[in-house]
Amino acid sequence: MTQTKDQDRVVIFDTTLRDGEQSPGATMSHEEKLEIAGLLDEMGVDIIEAGFPIASEGDFRAVSEIAKNARNSVICGLSRAQIPDIDRNWEAIQHAKRPRIHTFIGTSPLHRAIPNLDMDQMAERIHETVTHARNLCDDVQWSPMDATRTERDYLCRVVEIAIKAGATTINIPDTVGYTAPRESAEIIRMLLERVPGADEVVFSTHCHNDLGMATANSLAAVEAGARQIECTINGLGERAGNTALEEVVMALRVRNDIMPYRTGIDTTKIMNLSRRVATVSGFAVQFNKAIVGKNAFLHESGIHQDGVLKNVETFEIMKPADIGLNEDNIVLGKHSGRAALRSKLKGLGIEMGENQLKDVFVRFKDLADRKKEVYDEDLIALVQMSDDAG
Ligand code: KIV
Ligand code: ZN
């Protein structure tokens, strides 16, 4: 079990290979899934949700192999609240050093209408399926899908049933990205206060980003007592995606002064994983995406570049190297100033006096007006032109 009594430790549950892969068009090949699972394991992800074994033969095979290969991470498979689903899931994960069964059912009024179960029938189903899962595996996670739109009294009732039946982690999904930070926290606080046995289990938060609040909602849940965050690399996931792993992990690291919780993630592996997931899923990362976007650490304007060159902390709240990014963070464009130009030239091994620098700067500005970005090769050509003219 990854349950922790260490109150400062937040467990990171990555579902890139399950909820992330459910994103239309994000399907990954068998080999790609194994590669991503290996990288997640190496990065220190506590739990990897490797897939949905009953969904397809391919998913079953991938989850089984990931389970066999995992070195440190708990390997989790997803199953609906049905006995054959749970059995198939167990078949796939049982060879993991540390297996976890995750089972779920939609508990909100809209979701209860789908299997046409009334509240009592659903409660009975939860009891039966969680008990069955716990008879197979010591580590059982249960999720009331669409929890944030479930009647609060009923949510307390079904969570209590799941705990009594043996669930060790209770995950609270905001399935349609509907909640907001205050409510996300209130739900966790309410469950911890009202449900008997709540202090014996780990509460987890699983947020979707439909209103752009997944990261804020996840962190609010942690502040209220949740100790597991479910997330995906690059926020990959259905519709607007899931909570982005890199955002919650770096937020907890950078603002540890006001959110004093630790994860076990080696953050220097974030950038490489982000790039691999973008490549294998075919989902490019938006340029201005927090933490891993191409522009997240770049400075183009003269004022910012000048500040960063004098003291990097003027415009950077974290170091690029903290996420494994070791590239130059100064990009030359029409907003850049002379200090940045001088620094770039120095980086290229080109030193010059003030007069020539003035000349190159005029040529540079002229080019930058016509071109979005001025590359190293452009600079070398400009210096050559200036040498020839001089
Ligand atoms: O969003 C959701 O409700 C889910 C559950 C299956 C946990 O992904
Ligand atoms: Zn989800």
The span from the CA of 388 to the CA of 2, in Å, is: 67
Q: Confirm whether residue 366 is marked as ligand binding.
A: no
Nearest atom, ligand 1, residue 143 CA: 7
Contacts of 301 (CB under 8 A, 6+ apart): 335, 336
The answer to whether residue 261 scores a pLDDT higher than 60 is yes
In one letter, which amino acid is 296?
A: A
Query: Nearest CA to 101 among 60, 140, 61?
Result: 140
Average pLDDT score over the chain: 95
pLDDT in tens, 204-252: 999 999 999 999 999 999 999 999 999 999 999 999 999 999 999 999 9
pLDDT in tens, 213-223: 999 999 999 99
pTM for the full model? 0.91
**Phi, psi for 373 (deg, rounded to 5):** -135, 140
Question: In this structure, how many other beta carbons lie within 10 angstroms of the beta carbon of residue 317?
Answer: 8
pLDDT band at 26 (very low <50, low <70, confident <90, very high): very high
The span from the CA of 133 to the CA of 370, in Å, is: 64
Tokens of 371: 């071109």
pLDDT band at 3 (very low <50, low <70, confident <90, very high): very low
Would you give the DSSP letter of residue 9? B
The span from the CA of 89 to the CA of 354, in Å, is: 69
Q: Confirm whether residue 242 is marked as ligand binding.
A: yes
Question: In this structure, how many other beta carbons lie within 10 angstroms of the beta carbon of residue 189?
Answer: 16
Complex-level ipTM: 0.99
Q: Confirm whether residue 311 is marked as ligand binding.
A: no
Tokens of 310: 């004098």
Ligand 2 centre from 229 Cα, in Å? 12
Mean pLDDT of 99-105: 98
Ligand 2 centre from 173 Cα, in Å? 7
pLDDT at 299: 85
More confident residue, 376 or 192: 192
- The answer to whether 340 touches 330, Cβ cutoff 8 Å, is yes
- Which residue owns the Cα nearest ligand 1 atom 1? 175
**Which stretch of DSSP H or E encloses residue 217?**
helix 214-224
pLDDT in tens, 41-72: 999 999 999 999 999 999 999 999 999 999 99
pLDDT band at 1 (very low <50, low <70, confident <90, very high): very low
Would you give the DSSP letter of residue 284? P
pLDDT band at 302 (very low <50, low <70, confident <90, very high): confident
Nearest atom, ligand 1, residue 106 CA: 3
In one letter, which amino acid is 102?
A: H
Tokens of 252: 């907890």
The answer to whether residue 5 scores a pLDDT higher than 60 is no
- Which residue owns the Cα nearest ligand 1 atom 2? 175
Mean pLDDT of 93-101: 98
The span from the CA of 301 to the CA of 346, in Å, is: 19
Q: Work out the percent of the chain whose per-residue pLDDT is above 70.
A: 99
C-alpha of 176 from chain center: 17
The span from the CA of 372 to the CA of 363, in Å, is: 15
Ligand 1, residues at Cβ distance < 6 Å = 19, 104, 143, 145, 171, 173, 175, 206, 208
Q: Confirm whether residue 111 is marked as ligand binding.
A: no
Nearest atom, ligand 1, residue 15 CA: 8
Mean pLDDT of 165-179: 98
Tokens of 22: 């459910």
- Ranges 161-170, 255-264, 311-320: which has the least confidence: 311-320
pLDDT at 327: 79
Tokens of 270: 């974030």
